[in-house]
Amino acid sequence: MNDFVKYQAIAIGASAGGLAALAEIFAALPENFPLPILVAQHLHFNQDDGYLKYFANRTLLPVKDADDKERIKRGHIYFAPPNYHLLVEKDQTLSLSVDPRVKYSRPSIDVLFESAADIFSSLLIGIVLTGANDDGAMGLKAIKERGGLAIVQAPATAEVDCMPRSAIATGAVDHILPLTEIGPFLCALVTPKD
């Protein structure tokens, strides 16, 4: 990875309104975007793969459901499959779990964020987007406590503002950004300075 890239991975959590919000962010990322993106989006447990096809037409990056024991590749977007928690292992592979739901959700944003924070520590960017509960708030706090970068979608730009507001209420947030600014902000973080 290039020396100027301070971070190694991005973890994003979204719920109600998340597909449109994620599409907005992904569309802003160039095909040479260097970081892997791990996503916990609350989906119905028997959701088909239509959401992957939706994103395939809205980003230049490869998008897929994460496979158990899959090695994380730079510039790829990995979704927690419906009805599975997504975790990061010590060897930077992905693992899937059917452990009980957390805050009524599987995948749980907190589970992804906390496991990713354990592995990537200060090299992780965490982002909480639109959603109707408080999943992700404690996970984002864990990312911040380990020195990572904590970003929250500005509640006024969220389809449902409960999740962003819950994350902000923890006090563990570095940036509160309108949805349209999150993608460009990520690009700026990994672009070399003149």
Q: Which residues are identified as catalytic?
A: 15, 42, 135
Rounded Cα gap, residues 85 and 82, in angstroms: 8
- φ and ψ of 188, to 5 deg: -65, -35
Expressed in angstroms, the distance from the first to the final Cα of the chain is 18
Q: Is residue 2 within 8 Å of 124, Cβ to Cβ? A: no
Cβ–Cβ under 8 Å, residues 93 and 67: no
The CA-atom distances, in angstroms, between 70 and each of 37, 43, 105, 120, 139 are 14, 21, 23, 17, 22
